[in-house]
Amino acid sequence: MKPVEPIRQALMIEASQERTFHTFVRRLSAWWPIEGRAAVTGKPGDVRVEEWVGGRVYQAGRAGAERERGHVTIWNPPSSFAFTWEVAPGAEITEVHLQFQRLGPALTRVVMVHRGWEYLSTALLDRYTSHAGGWLAALRRFAAMFETDPRPRRQAADDEPR
């Protein structure tokens, strides 16, 4: 089979490494494009990550149904984590690696690499393009959470009222 390049995305987040990491993991449902992609029956609920090596990555429906999509393979907060990802039910497994690189006290570079596409059957390779676009859209939604975050910003000394 012909090698398939991993899907790669990177973005800058104006937040601390710790906040960026934990927002990514603990608030997945706030930015993950679950609408129309629910892997459980009924109304979509949450996308969750169990925070340890071997922990599940899964969707939980509002009616209590759950569907595993993968498992955590690396857990190194706040700098990195990785998980397996089932592209389609019963399909071969791919891997998603995330790095959270601290560039400053309130600046983090997030690098995502989704690999393993070369192991999928030819019938599933059509998912590559949809996942590439899906990751781009999802990470843009993730970045937007920090742009619209209502937390008050600390004023610089020069900005204080006189």
What are the tens digits of pLDDT across the range 40-78?
Answer: 444 556 889 999 999 999 988 777 788 888 999 999 999
Cα angle value 37/39/42 (rounded, 5°): 90
pTM: 0.81
Q: Which residues of the chain have pLDDT under 70?
A: 1-2, 34-45, 148-162
Tokens of 99: 């790095």
**pLDDT for the residue numbered 148:** 61
Q: Is the peptide bond before 78 cis (omega within 30 degrees of 0)?
A: yes
Residue 131 φ/ψ, nearest 5 degrees? -70, -40
Q: Which runs of consecutive H residues, i.e. helices, occur in 27-155?
A: 28-31, 126-147
78 burial type by CB count under 10 A (0-12 exposed, 13-18 middle, 19+ buried): middle
**pLDDT for the residue numbered 100:** 98
